[in-house]
Structure 1
């Protein structure tokens, strides 16, 4: 979470710099014998870098979503998100904001834009029965377990042997040997379902296979940032089966299906394109002429597919009418022939 905040802050600061450059024109940045570097020169160089192209794109998108969906975001939600991040950073939060070029007010504006974008994306979600069934396939209800995390496979094997002995106190061993500071003080006790992100997926998958009281073999989990491995031992305390009744978990399944949509790049790209089109976004500086292409093309493709489908439907209808007309003509001719023969 801290990395995300710093990244967002850097983005906002760079955009502020670009905006300031475009507004101050010929103001000097530096002078030297017979020459100078102006803000405008700096801006003309800076705006062509890929990083600033991306920053400008993000700024346009967030502003478009705020304009369209900002009224869906309450001050209470903004304050709650701000307080949540402030709590995570503790005493360093104010200094982090200041170092990144934020004030409390400007950071809350950023939060509002993020929440407005989330509201806009969710407004376009229309879940189908197929979406819920897909969510159901991967869903597992909450279980209670205990975990011990150690730094090597040899340590994990030794822990597995120790906790498997008759009368072994798993909680006590977790407090003594687990390197997971989040859970060790509670004896490694955790509760999680298939939507949880605090427990590694590999650990979850292994846990689902255990019956109450069973202990897993060592489970290797690789940190994708540092490429270091942590090894887990899991004891199932209380498992549960989802059974066959989807309706029992309908709200949770909707939540899973909605999250799946929000993580679908094709879906989000099309929605962003639709919002940009609806807000009549026009690029005025040729340096940024292509920053929105990914999104506008997605909308154009969708519109083209829709027209093709409509055209196909019309052709089908026309063909059906022609067939009906042919059948009617044939029927009429048969009637005339029969009448003539009768005469």
Structure 2
């Protein structure tokens, strides 16, 4: 996954950095009777959907970095870089080689990490949690539980394990022998999770939260969202805990959940992005990219259009009210005449 993310970002700067270097007339290739210059290349690729998206991202990242980059520490950047390095290692790959293939150095890749973190910092800076947000988080919240899990590849295996457990089998022993979950099997399947944890699939959490202490679930089917492969779980609840009716003891957790919900709310994220870009007074100088921020920043033309539309609507409403008033007066007059 990390490799894909790195390679997906590879074209972000290269094309436009090339277009800027040594003027647009720099030759890329020559042949009998013709040449290909940086200008030729730039004019060829600038209208592509990928190039449009790249420039849009460059603008957004640059604006957020200028405003919120100071909130990102070198330590945070290094941590993300180390995570990427470990992720590559876990997949049997080498981060340095991946970066080289994608046209990055360690320094330029860390710069990209910093821009991403600055963007996240900008979104977080606009989050204001309300009581309604906390109540929404409370609806799906469940406190941390202690459980044991056994993961296997087929439903038949899961059913067989469930039967062994129902017949008095030792959960921890069976987990060590049969479970394919390498993170829990050596400890007898022991695991802790709450409603926001990602250590176990959602289907497992949903089933586990319904179990009483000591109860064992029926086989639970899960599907990996990336590989689409199915797996089956058997869960034993060790210590469940009801959240009760009082939010106060969990306010810290609820606030974190509410913040995450905001960060995942695309409408909220777009509104923040729009506000920050508008405040930065972004001006598109190349007509090839004139529409890349459409819907994100309110231009002078769109403001005039909006204002004109508002005035037109207001005018129509006045005319409508005037017409209604005339009709009312006319009706009233006819009623009086009829009365006479």
Q: Distance in 1 between matches of 2:9 and 2:15?
A: 10
What whole-Å deviation, never above 9, does each CA across 1:182-230 have from its counterpart, x for those lacking one?
Answer: 2222222111111111211111000000011111111111223332211
Residue in 1 that maps onto 2:317: none
Q: What secondary structure does 2:83 align onto? A: helix
Residue in 2 that maps onto 1:67: 66
Q: What secondary structure does 1:293 align onto? A: coil
Higher helix share: 1
Q: Which runs of 5+ in 2 are unaligned?
A: 315-340
Residue in 2 that maps onto 1:112: 114
What's the CA shift for 1:39?
2.1
- Contact map agreement 1:269 1:294 (CA 8 A) in 2: no
What's the CA shift for 1:36?
2.7
What whole-Å deviation, never above 9, does each CA across 1:129-173 have from its counterpart, x for those lacking one?
Answer: 00000001110011111111111111211121122221x111221
What whole-Å deviation, never above 9, does each CA across 1:55-81 have from its counterpart, x for those lacking one?
Answer: 111111011000011111122222222
1:89-238 to 2 correspondence within 5 Å?
89-90=88-89, 92-166=94-168, 168-238=169-239
> How many pairs align?
306
Q: What secondary structure does 1:245 align onto? A: coil
Residue in 1 that maps onto 2:84: 85
Q: What secondary structure does 1:30 align onto? A: strand
What's the CA shift for 1:5?
5.4
Residue in 2 that maps onto 1:18: 16
Q: Distance in 2 between matches of 1:100 and 1:171?
A: 46
Residue in 2 that maps onto 1:320: none
Residues 183 and 259 (structure 1 numbering): CA distance in 2 closer, same or farther, change over 3 Å?
Answer: same
Q: Distance in 1 between matches of 2:2 and 2:282?
A: 27
Residues 234 and 136 (structure 1 numbering): CA distance in 2 closer, same or farther, change over 3 Å?
Answer: same
Q: Which runs of 5+ in 1 are unaligned?
A: 313-343
Residues 258 and 5 (structure 1 numbering): CA distance in 2 closer, same or farther, change over 3 Å?
Answer: farther
Is the deviation greater in 71-80 or in 19-28? 19-28
Q: What secondary structure does 1:296 align onto? A: coil
TM-score, L = length of structure 1: 0.82
Residue in 2 that maps onto 1:279: 280
Q: Distance in 2 between matches of 1:202 and 1:115?
A: 31
- Contact map agreement 2:29 2:36 (CA 8 A) in 1: yes
TM-score, L = length of structure 2: 0.83
Is the deviation greater in 223-232 or in 40-49? 223-232
Residue in 1 that maps onto 2:38: 39
Q: Distance in 1 between matches of 2:131 and 2:112?
A: 35
- Contact map agreement 2:11 2:54 (CA 8 A) in 1: no
Residue in 2 that maps onto 1:322: none
- Contact map agreement 2:6 2:99 (CA 8 A) in 1: no
Q: Distance in 2 between matches of 1:108 and 1:173?
A: 45
Q: What secondary structure does 1:176 align onto? A: helix
